[in-house]
Chains A and B, each alone.
Chain A
Amino acid sequence: MILTDFQKDAITEIVNIAFGRAVASLSELTGSRILLTVPKLEICTIDQLPSVLMEILNSDVCTVHQIFTGEVSGDALLILDYKGATVLASLLTGEEIENMETSAKEVLIEVGNILLNACLGTFENMLHVHITFSVPHLHLNQLNHTLNTIKMGKEEIRYVILVVTTFTVKESNVGGYLLIVLGVVSLDKFIQCIKNLEMDR
């Protein structure tokens, strides 16, 4: 899958805008300012994803997974390193959390729900595609296991738009990664929407 420089730039900028909305929600929840790094975009097949992620994630992870359907369908994942997830849960609950207990899991599912909805909602608004969201699920197992659940029963080639960005909650370094997994048909539709955006101006 070869994208033009403009298409790559457009996806990065749309995600940048989406993440801007998302972290503002997180800022309201935590009561702290959130700093963002410039997002970095990678496109790979789902089979290549584990090795790509190994380069940036070398610890246990906590993943919020949400399926979306509609004109563009796929899987959206928010991946936090385990330590970052406990820090975030502590910040949001005001309690010291070291392990992922039920209440901490619920908090992170809600954070994932807010962040992923803000991102996908921005895609919906900017690209004029209608998307319906499923209930998000939290995975605390190894990343490979989560990736396998995405692959299961789907035979078409699945591409991953991997956007790596780090958001820093004031005085604590909570790293987050956003993944959007699209089938080849949806990715084509997504790129077509970006082309339309390009022609609008």
Chain B
Amino acid sequence: MEKILIIDDSALSRKMLKGILIEGGYDVIEAAEGVSGIEKYFLERPAVVILDLLMEAMPGLEVLKKIKQLDQNACIIVATADIQEATKEEVMNEGATAFINKPFKKETVLDAVSRALKRRKS
């Protein structure tokens, strides 16, 4: 079972995402903020990370840069309420695998994860 790491400071969003991912047949681990998210990434080596952008302490963009700096092959899907194209461009330029918006739609989330996993294997 592929392991997915959710890094999001919102318990509601983690709960919703976790429900979708478990239904999709994935093993889910969670982190409620950026630093512990980075730690969990390197301890647990998940296949995919789903990362929120707007977080206290360490913003999602910094988490993305840090993980990519340490592991260029990391598959990171940015999941945010910010629907601006400029934000999408910025995170994609920093190496994000995909960009999805909140509120989460089951099909969108599972499709993004599935594509990320295929890309990782190819």
A residues contacting B by CB (< 8 A) are 5-6, 9-10, 12-14, 16-21, 23-24, 27, 33-34, 36-38, 122, 125-126, 197-198, 201
Asked if A6 contacts B54 (CB within 8 A), the reply is no
- With A21-B83, A23-B84 known as contacts, the answer to whether A201 contacts B15 (CB < 8 A) is yes
Asked if A24 contacts B84 (CB within 8 A), the reply is yes
Contacts of A126 in B (CB 8 A): 103
Q: How far is the CB of B65 from chain A (nearest CB, A)?
A: 17
- The answer, yes or no, to whether B1 is at the interface (CB within 8 Å) is no
Q: Who on chain B is nearest to A21 by CB? A: B83
Q: Who on chain B is nearest to A170 by CB? A: B86
B residues contacting A by CB (< 8 A) are 9-13, 15-16, 18-19, 54-56, 80-84, 86-87, 101-103
Asked if A38 contacts B81 (CB within 8 A), the reply is no
Q: How far is the CB of B52 from chain A (nearest CB, A)?
A: 9
- With A9-B11, A16-B10 known as contacts, the answer to whether A33 contacts B16 (CB < 8 A) is no
Q: Which of B10, B83, B103 contacts A12 (CB 8 A)?
A: B10
Q: Which of B12, B54, B56, B86 contacts A36 (CB 8 A)?
A: B54
Complex: A5 Cα to B10 Cα, angstroms: 11
Q: How far is the CB of B34 from chain A (nearest CB, A)?
A: 12
Asked if B81 contacts A19 (CB within 8 A), the reply is yes
Contacts of B103 in A (CB 8 A): 17, 122, 125-126
Smallest CB-CB A-B distances: 10 pairs: A20-B81, A201-B19, A13-B10, A33-B86, A17-B81, A10-B12, A13-B12, A24-B83, A9-B11, A17-B102
Asked if B83 contacts A9 (CB within 8 A), the reply is no
Q: Which of B12, B18, B101 contacts A197 (CB 8 A)?
A: B12
A sample of 18 cross-chain residue pairs with beta-carbon separation below 8 angstroms, ordered by A number, consists of A5-B11, A6-B11, A6-B12, A12-B10, A16-B81, A16-B102, A20-B81, A20-B82, A23-B84, A24-B84, A33-B86, A33-B87, A34-B84, A36-B54, A36-B82, A37-B54, A125-B103, A126-B103
Complex: A126 Cα to B81 Cα, angstroms: 13
